[in-house]
Amino acid sequence: MVQIPKTSAPTSPAPHSVPTSADVARLAGVSRATVSYVLNNTSAVRISEPTRRRVHQAAKELGYVPHAAARSLRAGHSRMVLMPAPDVPVGPLYSQFFNELQWALSRLDYTVVQYGSVGLQGDEAARAWAELRPVAVLVPGSGLGTEGVAVLKRSGARAVVTLGPDRVEGAHALIMDHHEVGRSAGAHLRARGYRRVGVVVPEDPGLEIFSKPRFEGVRQALSGTDASVTEVSLAYDEEAASQLAARWRSLGLDAVFAYNDEYAMLLMRALQDEGIGIPGDTAVIGADDLMLGRLLRPRLSTVHIDLPSGRELAELVDRAVREPGAPPEAHEVLGATVVHRESS
């Protein structure tokens, strides 16, 4: 029987070491090999039913849990898919995508692990990830360079996938080019006849990866026309917004792409409080197509963003893992479509 009486407090300060398969074997009166066969349902070998029972019973009594590190050390590989945890607060879009991905990967029998790599820079981070010998690494953003990819592959990663603005040599890429978001917004504003277009760029440096290309996209969409594009820096707080609103008229803008829906809401509110009509005096368009945009008055025009489904990415990963020799795939996966509502 188990040594800890069921009825006593489970806080047993006994320094009992953690049970190994050898302990299970001992208790069941069999060899470690047999324990392994039984617990892994190894089909290549047939174990008698009584023995199986004894092993299972022993494992249960000891509370045996296999040691993943030992197992994958022996096996020479794992099924861990590693993903650095994003260090900026992410919105519902990313959360949903990530959940889907996780679900799809677990269906394919991979284990998804988000690795917190605060404070690690570029190749140093790649090395830290490589220490875990993941079978695949999914890297959002643009932190990974060619050397990082090489480190990961050398250490056994069979698939390295970047989710970001650009391709990295040797890695599969899900290219999420936010230029397209800006371009859609810009084209929309141009088509609706606006000529002096502002583009909000968040002050938060962590958002630069998105804000820069979105800004550039607007510029691209309006280049070759008589429209002007003005960068408008804005921190995500009320004070900053109202200060901006106070000098808004002096900017002489007839439309603004507000980076995303949240910044759009912030700015809209400040403009309205300043007596600036939307879209009459200034048109506003956001991005991300959040629920809140539909709730604003006027209803917020926005750029809806299509991310790849988690299932798609999971399949890419699986394909890459099974065929590591195959040349890296690169897919443009960010779709942007304008949802025209009332604010533009």
Distance of CA 158 to the CA centre of its chain: 20
Q: Specify the long-range contacts of residues 64-68, CB closer than 8 Å, at least 24 apart.
A: 64/19, 64/20, 64/21, 64/23, 64/24, 65/18, 66/21, 66/39, 67/20
Residue number, 201 or 314, with CB nearest to a copy of itself: 314
Q: How far apart are CA 259 and CA 215, in angstroms?
A: 8
DSSP 8-state symbol, 260: S
Among 44, 154, 224, 250, binds a copy of itself (CB under 8 A): 154
Exactly one of 36, 102, 260, 301 binds a copy of itself (CB under 8 A); which one? 102
Single residue of 28, 135, 144, 149 touching a copy of itself by CB under 8 A? 149
Angle at 37 between CA 32 and CA 42, to 5 degrees: 160
* φ/ψ (deg, to 5) at 174: -105, 100
**Where do contacts with DNA occur on this chain (CB under 7 A)?**
17-18, 20-22, 29-37, 39-40, 42, 44-48, 50-51, 64, 66-67, 70-71, 73-76
Q: Contacting a copy of itself (CB under 8 A), which of 40, 99, 225, 230?
A: 99
List of residues 6+ apart from 298 with CB closer than 8 A:
278, 279, 341, 342, 343
Burial pattern 108-136, b for ≥16 Cβ within 10 A else e, equals eebebbebebeebeebebbeebbebbbbb
The Cα 23–Cα 25 span in angstroms is: 5
Query: Is 328 among the residues that bind a copy of itself (CB under 8 A)?
Result: yes
Determine which residue in the list 29, 92, 122, 252 makes contact with a copy of itself, applying CB under 8 A. Answer: 92
Q: Is the preceding omega at residue 279 within 30 degrees of 0, hence cis? A: yes
**Shortest gap between Cβ of 22 and DNA (angstroms)?**
6
Judged by CB under 8 A, does residue 67 bind a copy of itself? yes
Q: Residue 302 is inside which H or E element, if any?
A: strand 302-306
130 binds, among a copy of itself, DNA, none (CB under 5 to 8 A by kind): a copy of itself
Phi and psi dihedrals of 112, rounded to 5? -95, 130
Share of the chain residues as helix, strand and coil, in percent rounded to the nearest 5: 45, 15, 40
Smallest distance from a copy of itself to CB 275, Å: 14
Give the nearer residue to DNA in terms of CB position, either 16 or 294. Answer: 16
Check if the beta carbon of residue 98 is closer than 8 Å to that of residue 131.
no
Q: How far is the CB of 137 from a copy of itself (least distance, A)?
A: 13
- Under the binding rule (CB under 8 A), the answer on residue 266 touching a copy of itself is yes
Binding partner at 42 among a copy of itself, DNA, none, C-beta below 5 to 8 Å by kind: DNA
**Please, what is the minimum distance in Å from the beta carbon of residue 341 to a copy of itself?**
12
Question: Which one of 40, 146, 228, 233 is in contact with a copy of itself (CB under 8 A)?
Answer: 146
Residue 151 as a binder of a copy of itself (CB under 8 A): the answer is yes
Instruction: List residues near a copy of itself by CB under 8 A.
Output: 9-11, 13, 16, 18-19, 63, 65-70, 72-73, 78, 85, 87, 89-90, 92, 95-96, 99, 102-103, 105-106, 111-116, 118-119, 127, 130-133, 146, 149-151, 154-156, 169-170, 236-238, 262, 265-266, 269, 291-292, 294-295, 297, 325, 327-328
